[in-house]
Amino acid sequence: MNPRGTFDSLLARAIDKVRFNGNAVTREIEFSINQSTAAQEEARKLPRGDTPIVFSMFGRADSKSDFAIHDEDALEFVHRLVSGDVAPPEWLLSEMRNRHLLILGVHLPDWLERFLLRAATRDRLRLAQRAYFIAGENAQAAGTLTQFLNRFGRETSIAVFDGTALEFVTELHRRWKERHPEVTTKTGPIRVLDNETRGSIFISYGRENLAAAERLQSAIEALGGDAWFDKDDLQAGDQWERKILPRIQRDVRLFVPVISDRTAAKSEGYVFREWREAVERAKKIVGRRFIVPVVVDTDYKGDFSRYQSLVDAFPSFQELHAGCAPGGEPDQALRQTLVTEIRAMRREEAQ
């Protein structure tokens, strides 16, 4: 079950690559608020043999269904799920309730984790004789869930792995190979993204706006976006040229320049080079938004002309209608813009 985190076919493709030499075997179904009749019928079909199934509980990013990208969306999905309007197939609930359950690297609110466990358990948690295996990258959330199960799961066996989901899978694989030394894989190693891998939304800021940039990043991630910025204050020299600029020129999906009075008062800085690179790339992009300027001054009232030096240097910013995020907290209009762009990214990734 894929409760959250990816809304595309990446997991199914990975399973097919490792288990079936790239052949499309894995079955994909999803729950969605606006699920079509055809999708519901497909979900009700009984599984065949040992065919793997990926069930996306919070929708998939395609043109036929909706999907959740933040906590309020997740709440609405859960409400529709428990209301019975679009109930999950009975065979799926049976599978969840009669097999071992692994919770790997899922970043969910505590209330939602508890709901998923209850949905995957036939009886009340305090009566259920089940074993739970938890490997969480969010130590605080994992601790809270473990405390809850220890308190109310009297007949429950709980095993919590002290490490990330990736470390858990690596250890699980090591133990499996020890027990099955005669089995060899027919595929090459699985590529794991390293620490240099960054998100699709880049926040470009000057040191004077660091606190606002941090709050803006948190707000975007709360909306379901994958945002990042250079926390080392725009590393100087060839390291900056080699790591930051190429991402802006080729990889970043949404560029967010952070604007303030203090930025407008500056006459030079690496941040302006980033903005120029983004403006040049924007000239090549047709049919979608690439630059979303964000003003973080708390007294900003929509008059962008107060940043005259920036208007002169980057006139397209004024034409793009800057969003407002006082102190880094996006207002409602900017939130809606960001949600629209994040949904667009998810759908592009799913294609």
pLDDT beyond 80 at 232: no
Q: Which residue has the higher pLDDT, 3 or 347?
A: 347
Taking a C-beta distance cutoff of 8 angstroms, is the pair 254, 289 a contact?
A: yes
pLDDT beyond 50 at 195: no
pLDDT beyond 90 at 350: no
DSSP annotation of 97: H
d(CA 69, CA 58): 8
End-to-end CA distance of the chain: 21
d(CA 37, CA 40): 5
Q: Which residue has the higher pLDDT, 331 or 197?
A: 331
- Token pair 């519901």: residue: 40
| Exposure letters 153-170 (e unless 16+ CB within 10 A, then b) | beebeeebbeebbeebbe
Write down the domain spans for the chain. Answer: 10-179, 201-350
Torsion of the alpha carbons at 156, 157, 161 and 164, rounded to the nearest 10? -40
Question: In the prediction, which pLDDT does 190 show?
Answer: 36
pLDDT beyond 80 at 241: no
Would you place residue 215 in the very low, low, confident or very high pLDDT band (cuts 50, 70, 90)? Answer: very high
pLDDT beyond 70 at 154: no
CATH number given to 201-350 = 3.40.50.2300
Q: Which residue has the higher pLDDT, 172 or 153?
A: 172
Question: In the prediction, which pLDDT does 337 show?
Answer: 93
Would you place residue 274 in the very low, low, confident or very high pLDDT band (cuts 50, 70, 90)? Answer: very high
DSSP annotation of 152: H
**pTM confidence score:** 0.55
Q: Which residue has the higher pLDDT, 205 or 268?
A: 205
